[in-house]
Each structure stands twice: as C-alpha cells, then as structure tokens.
Amino acid sequence: MARPGWRERVEVARQAREAASRQRVRRVASHRDGARCTVDGRSLLNFCGNDYLGLSQHFAVVNALQDAASREGAGGIGSHLVCGHHALHDTLEKELADWLEVPRALLFGSGFLANLAVVQALLGDDDVCVQDRLNHASLIDAARLAGCHLRRYPHADPEGAIRQLRGVPDGAAMLATDGVFSMDGDVAPLRELALVARVQQALMYVDDAHGIGVLGPDGRGSVAAARLTIEQVPLRLATFGKALGSHGAAVVGDEQLIAHLAETARPYIYTTAMPPAQAAATLAAVLIARSEHWRREKLVDLTTRFRDRALAAGLVLLPSETPIQPVLVGDDARALSMAASLEKAGYWVTAIRPPTVPEGRARLRVTLSALHAEADVDGLVAALVKARDRAEAEARVAAIDQYTPR
C-alpha cells in the first residue's frame, strides 16, 4: 500500500486555503519609525502591532540593549541551569517580582514556551486543564502536549468553567485563561473564575500577555485590576513583546511553584537563555512602564476616541475597552479586501481569519499605541468607513455577476 505523497498533500492544503481566502503571507518591514513602518517602499501607519506603550524604540530601552550588548555580547551562550543565567537576568526577575508584587519570577524565551512549561510541568495524564474556548493557541497546545484531559468552556463563562471542572476525575485540575483575549480584546471575568477555581480546588493560571503594562495599578495587569491575590492566582504569564516592546516572557507567582518550574519544566531546562542584552532592554522598559502613567492614560483616551467615532460611523465593534479593537467583518474575502483598501490609504491593519478566530468571525484587528495621535485615529476611522463601503459594493457586484445568465 503506497503512502500519500507529501508534496501532493501540501499542494491540496494550499489550494484549499487559497479557495477559502485563508492564505497567510509575510510582509517585510524594512524600517520602523515610531508608529510608522516602511513596507514595500511605502510608509504605513501601523495599527496592527502590540507596542501598546510605544517602548520598542524608546531611547532608554535601545540604549540599554546596545550598552549591554557591547559589554556582554550578543548571545545567551547556555541554558539558565548550566552557564547562561547572567546577573542581568537575575536583576530583571527581581524587578518583575517587585513590580507585580509576587515572590518570584522566572524568565523564558517566549510566552509560547512559558505556557508549555507551566502546563507540562504541573499536569499529567490523569489531570485536567479547563480552558476558555478563545484562549491563545499556546495554552491549548500546552495541554495537548502535557497529555492531560483538555476541557474547554464557552468564552468568558464562569458557569461553563465550573461545569467542566465538576465532571473531572480525581486528578489535579488547572483553570487557565487569557487575561485579555488577543483577538477580541475583552477581559476575562477573573474574579468569578477565581471563585470557581477555589471551590473546585483548581490552580488558576492567567496568561496576561496583553494585560501587563496596560491594565491595573501601575500597569500590573488584569489580575491586579481585578484585585486578586497570589493565593487566588498563584501563577501568571507576563510577556515582554507587547506593552514592554521587547522580547521574551516570565512566569511569576508562588515561590514553590516557580521553583518547581525552574527544576522540571522542559522548555526552561533545555533551551538557551535569552541574551543578557535583551534582559537589559526589558529591564529598562519595565522601569518606564512602572513610572510613566501618562502612556496608559493616553491609551484609554485613544481607545475611547476610536470607539466613539467608529460606532457613530456604523462600524461593528466587539465589546472591548482595551487597546485591542476588532472591527468585525464576518466574511474572509471581505476582510482581505478592506485590509487592502486601508493599505492603499496608508494604514497597516491585518485581516484576521479562521482558524485564528471562529468561523464567520473574520475581522480587522485594530490595535492602538501611545505613539498614535488623535488625528491618526480619526484618519483610520474615515479610511475604515471607505474600505467598508468599497467592500460592500464589490460584494453586491459579485452577487449580481453570480446570478447573471451567461
């Protein structure tokens, strides 16, 4: 019996993606300058990145990176447990723990790796991980790779979470949720979920990639905004590639649990430490995020301005009060058409399609930054309205052509 050919399988999958308007294409940014990116020789105003506080090019962050690289080199040279744990890593972990008011922090190369580490190190075959249906892919993959039972509840539904936890075996249980959902922009009902976790004796873990730096007192994230303690949320994820404008991540929380991760988590043990220079850049970003409250205040003002004007213009928004402002389109081809129209007008906004979002929920994921001006937001809304009208006109013409006799 002949096995299926890999080239044929890949080609069939490519054709299916093309037919469904779901091909993914990388764009090359040749230069970044504040909120602007140069793409294919054109300067575009970027409304699809995650640089919420505008720190990725901040002079203090860049200077810290360059200065540390000149002294300590470009690489991490080894894993943290062999020879890669530098004094800059140690300082960053302590600063994070102080900022987020937890006993300890542990660095990882990315948020994806950190989520794999947490779930795999704490759960096994007889355990269960209960998750929000819209959780980030890394949390879902982490549960699958851990071999535990993965159960998912309807989005932001604490009653659904408790139903899933009630019917599990006698093994350990984890309740895992995003703090801020990356594609919808809404905040999880953390206080209600924390109560569910306590009643069901489950460990609550919050992936706060899009909340750290943006929400809560001093930017400590969605957990702090919900006024939850470390006893209620023993572990959470803080990533550096969003509001902090850097790269990497940390799991922060309970001393005993963090120590367990440091000694047993495969994504921590078997990977090279981040370059010390990157840790220095992140440390500089943390210090700015803690102290420059105006950046968060400006984000709130820009978010309100965008929502007020977009809703008044009849655009369909999801109920988000964060800098993530999805404009719901529905149809994949229409989302691509609107993104192309926006680019022609000078705005970079990515079309998000399934499987990243549910079927029929394609959207333009607008993200705001402290680098944007009010005029930028007003211009974007005007361009979105024109793009919508153009896409609707194209759809009407296509429908007429479909039913016109040939």
User: Binding site residues for pyridoxal 5'-phosphate, as ranges?
Assistant: 111-112, 182, 210, 239
- C-alpha of 48 from chain center: 12
- Say if residues 212 and 243 touch (Cβ distance below 8 Å): yes
Q: Where is 83: in which H helix or E strand?
A: none
d(CA 329, CA 350): 12
The residue whose two tokens read 């989005």 is 155
ω before 355 within 30° of 0 (cis)? yes
* Tokens found for residue 310: 């977009």
Q: How far apart are CA 246 and CA 346, in angstroms?
A: 26
Give how far Cα 31 sits from Cα of 35, 66, 303, 372, Å: 11, 18, 26, 17
Q: Binding site for substrate, residues?
A: 24, 136, 356
**Burial call 185-202: b when 16+ CB within 10 Å, e when fewer:** bbbbbbebbbebbeebeb
| Strand duo 29-33 + 36-39: pairing | antiparallel
Inter-residue contact 322 to 180 (CB < 8 Å):
yes
What's the rounded Cα separation, in Å, for the pair 27 and 19? 21
Name the β-bridge partners of 104: 253
- Detail the residues annotated as belonging to a binding site: 24, 111-112, 136, 182, 210, 239, 356
**Token pair 């730096």 is at which residue?**
213
Letter for the amino acid at 238?
A
- What count of residues does the chain have? 406
312 Cβ contact list (under 8 Å, min separation 6): none
Q: Which two tokens stand for residue 142?
A: 């982490």
Rounded CA-CA distance 76/24 in Å is 32
Report yes or no: 324 and 306 within 8 Å, Cβ to Cβ.
no
User: What DSSP assignment string belongs to 279-321?
Assistant: HHHHHHHHHHHHH-THHHHHHHHHHHHHHHHHHHTT--B-S--
